[in-house]
Structure 1
Amino acid sequence: MIELEGLTKRYGEKVAVDHLTFSVRPGIVTGFLGPNGAGKSTTMRMILGLDRPTAGDVRIDGRHYDRLKDPLTYIGALLDAKAVHGGRSARNHLLCLAQSNGIPGSRVAEVLETVGLTAVARKKAKGFSLGMGQRLGIAGALLGDPRILMFDEPVNGLDPEG
């Protein structure tokens, strides 16, 4: 479960997230809808500990993200599909994630197959289209077979097959 309580994020005078409180219960699909600049991505970044809240608290299964043992088995996230080292192949990108999180290397082939990237697994990510990058990001999110999946604009650039 994800729990946010009074979550606030300010950037100088700009309030990006204002006293947000809610829970995401297991088995429930939850979506954020709102215009650009409404704080959706900022909220997700705070859940993952990438941005520190100005006020409030966020917990995943009762703990802060940085206190989770093997965090990729708790929550798999895709926030930015282009956040990969362009010089690495899709396979090596996922292998680095797997090795740094104690996930068996065999899982890399499984998630590449799941997202339809097996044929390009050895190609460098810098040559990927937006949709292929999105699939690679989804593969990374699935890598730890997590209890929770969190995607920011998950279908951006995907074709119907994706």
Structure 2
Amino acid sequence: MDQSNLLKITFLSLVLIASMLFTAGCATTPAGNISSLSDADELNTIQVFYKLDPRLTTGLSMGERWVSPPTYAIVVADGVPYTIEARVEILDRNGQPLFAVPEWIVEHPEMVTVAPTQANEFKITIQRDGQSTLRVTTPDATKTLSVKAIYQNHALLVEVSQTDG
């Protein structure tokens, strides 16, 4: 095995371990299930979940995993474009799911794009390095996603932070 392949395997192993440790304390939900959330200050709540990269969970008998940390981060050795699968769940103040199709507003569409794939699932594609803001809105709630993509040591570091409003 040449040094380049060994370096890639080591790098992906470190990313896997870091992702598992990072997501251990974050809200998770198996596909199709809704976490119970409640916020008396807002009529509705928007929750954004990210699908873990299958390369991180293949062979670990974890199945499909969706996470919703305050900041989702991944290091991509393959470069751009890179696609993150996202799922949006809209909940009423009692934590019950509501059906509504959110509107996505992209600050810099030349850097990041959003495309629907299913009813509440979307693909967020990072086109290049930089920073952008995505706003996920419904008539009664808004979630802001701050996207940062930075090239570092021949890899792309992608961070998506979410805040209400």
Same fold per TM (> 0.5)?
no
Q: Normalized per residue, which structure has more strand? A: 2
Q: Normalized per residue, which structure has more helix? A: 1
Q: Using structure 2 for the length normalisation, give the TM-score.
A: 0.28
Q: Using structure 1 for the length normalisation, give the TM-score.
A: 0.28
